[in-house]
Amino acid sequence: MGSEGAFSAQKRSSGALPTANAAVNGGARGRAAALLPRGRQMHKTFNNIKITILCGFVTILVLRGTIGLGNLVSSEADAQNQHLTEETDKILDGIRSDKDPSDPDEAPMRYLSLNDTFSLGPRISTWNEDRKVWLEENPQFPSYVKGKPRILLVTGSQPAPCANAIGDHYLLKALKNKIDYCRIHGIEILYNMAHLDKEMAGFWAKLPLLRRLMLSHPDVEWIWWMDSDALFTDMVFDIPIAKYKDYNMVIHGFPDLLFNQKSWIALNTGSFLFRNCQWSLDLLDAWAPMGPKGPMRDEAGKVLTAYLKGRPDFEADDQSALIYLLLSQKQWLSKVFVENSFYLHGFWESVVDRYEEMIEKNHAGMGDERWPLVTHFVGCKPCAKFGDYSVERCLRGMERAFNFADNQVLNLYGFRHKGLVSPNLKRIRNETAAPLVNVDQFDIRHAAAHHTTEPRS
């Protein structure tokens, strides 16, 4: 419409400007023009010019997006940003694509049917004996060091960039947080970004991973699985590992919810310890069958929803499946320690608003509701496009939890965060020419520090 208008306006004004002499040119227009006084003719001309300009303007506005003229009026920075995003997306697409030029026969994934059987691997039945022999033959790789069993903390995330840009930033911070705790407590750490078993995708991925790590690291006595959305918030608290010498699994939960209510949240598989032994291999084998994606997982989901209180309708998840397993097959429970004397898992919503109160009244090392060992952001899903809670509440909570923990690490260096949402630091202790005094007092690893370290607010 715009262009038609422009063209017709141009046609109307394409002749010479009307003048008093126009009548001389003859024709209908000449006769009409002759009828109009000179002022009126000029007015008409100006009208035509206005229409032409207006229609031209409309044309440009409508078409600017199509012919890219919009870029001329955007800032150069916008253009560069757009280019950067396009390039990055192009690379990421290439990176995320599944094609391997040397692997042309890769078949599309076929879901197991209900008639198939699934197993994590060949049955191993002599793991305790095999491991014992191996440890004796390899004294340079002991499973106990200075009387303490070796623990490997295992966590991880998807191999691809997060759908939500901020997700990778919080994965990074959560990993730093775990590195700090593990360095202070002499725990090794492994960050997994690989899918070892396509069928056991999503929350089930930890099962093949646990098995593989147990069998590949016989010198590790305990594997501590921890979700990527869980943060350590007590840097001082040490797991009372001696308490579990007769157990093979330590998991946070509530006996009442488990035995009386059969609640689907009676236990939390976001943070648990798993001994490297035959019993654990057997448990994994019994746990896994509800996991394979497709009909098996869907059907299992229905069974779990029918059996467990409060469980919504969705495919089987590892947590519900474990609860179901422990309740329906009685041989496991005697070796499972249902722990709630400290926050091996601490649900974030009941914790994140109380950090200031904790700083005021309590101190690090308590590990329980007064100073939770772990603050676990269940449901926030910062890596995904959509979580179960508001973005604002989740990100603010994660920032506060991170800084609350970081203050306990920075205490040794004489700093703390300016506020629980600030990345910036303030000095709490001047530099000194006698720094070792501060090391003795503030290094968490020192026994003395356990009694005297109270990170100031």
Site for a copy of itself in 2-21 (CB under 8 A): 2, 5
Q: Could you give the string, one character per residue 125-144, with x where binding to a copy of itself holds by CB under 8 A and - elsewhere?
A: -----xx--x------x---
Please report how close the Cβ of residue 341 comes to a copy of itself at its closest, in angstroms: 27
Tokens of 368: 């329980």
Considering only residues 168, 238, 282, 349, which one is a binding residue for a copy of itself as defined by CB under 8 A? 168
Q: d(Cα 168, Cα 193) in Å, to the nearest integer?
A: 13
SS3 state of residue 254? coil
Question: Toward a copy of itself, which CB reaches closer, 2 or 30?
Answer: 2
Question: Toward a copy of itself, which CB reaches closer, 246 or 388?
Answer: 388
Question: Toward a copy of itself, which CB reaches closer, 303 or 425?
Answer: 425
Write the DSSP symbol of residue 431.
-
Strand partners of residue 416: 426
How many residues form the binding site for a copy of itself (CB under 8 A)?
A: 106
Please report how close the Cβ of residue 448 comes to a copy of itself at its closest, in angstroms: 11
Considering only residues 11, 38, 96, 132, which one is a binding residue for a copy of itself as defined by CB under 8 A? 96
Question: Toward a copy of itself, which CB reaches closer, 266 or 383?
Answer: 383
How much is the CA Rg of the chain, to the nearest whole Å? 34
Q: Are strands 336-339 and 249-253 parallel, antiparallel or unpaired?
A: parallel
Q: Is 95 in the site for a copy of itself (CB under 8 A)?
A: yes
Q: d(Cα 111, Cα 107) in Å, to the nearest integer?
A: 12
Question: Toward a copy of itself, which CB reaches closer, 118 or 307?
Answer: 118
Question: Toward a copy of itself, which CB reaches closer, 96 or 309?
Answer: 96
What are the C-alpha distances in Å from 294 to residues 157, 284, 384?
Answer: 22, 19, 22
Question: Toward a copy of itself, which CB reaches closer, 28 or 306?
Answer: 28
* Residue type at 275 in one-letter notation: R
Per-residue 3-state assignment (H helix, E strand, C coil) for 258-314? HHHCCECCCEEEEEEEEECCHHHHHHHHHHHHHCCCCHHHHHHHHHHHHHCECCCCC
SS3 state of residue 144? strand
Q: In 3D, which of 118, 113, 93 has the Cα closest to residue 200?
A: 118
Q: Could you give the string, one character per residue 386-415, with x where binding to a copy of itself holds by CB under 8 A and - elsewhere?
A: x---xxx--xx--x------x---x-xxxx
Question: Toward a copy of itself, which CB reaches closer, 17 or 60?
Answer: 60
Q: In 3D, which of 417, 444, 300, 419 has the Cα closest to residue 363?
A: 444
Question: Toward a copy of itself, which CB reaches closer, 228 or 320?
Answer: 228
Q: Is 92 in the site for a copy of itself (CB under 8 A)?
A: yes
What are the C-alpha distances in Å from 317 to residues 118, 264, 269?
Answer: 16, 10, 10
Q: Is 79 in the site for a copy of itself (CB under 8 A)?
A: no
Could you tell me which stretch among 156-164, 269-277, 341-349, 360-368 binds a copy of itself (CB under 8 A)?
Answer: 156-164
Considering only residues 159, 240, 255, 379, which one is a binding residue for a copy of itself as defined by CB under 8 A? 159
Could you tell me which stretch among 171-179, 230-238, 247-255, 330-338 binds a copy of itself (CB under 8 A)?
Answer: 171-179
Please report how close the Cβ of residue 47 comes to a copy of itself at its closest, in angstroms: 8
Q: Which helix (H) or strand (E) holds 231?
A: strand 230-232
Question: Toward a copy of itself, which CB reaches closer, 20 or 439?
Answer: 439
Tokens of 117: 């059987």
Tokens of 80: 């560069």
Residues constituting the chain:
457
* Torsion sign across C-alpha atoms 362, 363, 366, 371: positive
Which residues 37-66 are close enough to bind a copy of itself by CB under 8 A? 40, 50-51, 53-55, 57-58, 61-62
Could you tell me which stretch among 16-24, 153-161, 283-291, 345-353 binds a copy of itself (CB under 8 A)?
Answer: 153-161
Residue 338 phi, psi (nearest 5):
-85, 105
Could you tell me which stretch among 77-85, 107-115, 266-274, 358-366 binds a copy of itself (CB under 8 A)?
Answer: 77-85
Q: d(Cα 404, Cα 386) in Å, to the nearest integer?
A: 26
Q: Is 334 in the site for a copy of itself (CB under 8 A)?
A: no
Q: In 3D, which of 22, 171, 198 has the Cα closest to residue 106?
A: 198
Q: Could you give the string, one character per residue 283-322, with x where binding to a copy of itself holds by CB under 8 A and - elsewhere?
A: ----------------------------------------
Which residues 206-245 are close enough to bind a copy of itself by CB under 8 A? 212-213, 215-218
Question: Toward a copy of itself, which CB reaches closer, 189 or 333?
Answer: 189
What are the C-alpha distances in Å from 413 to residues 217, 438, 447?
Answer: 34, 9, 18
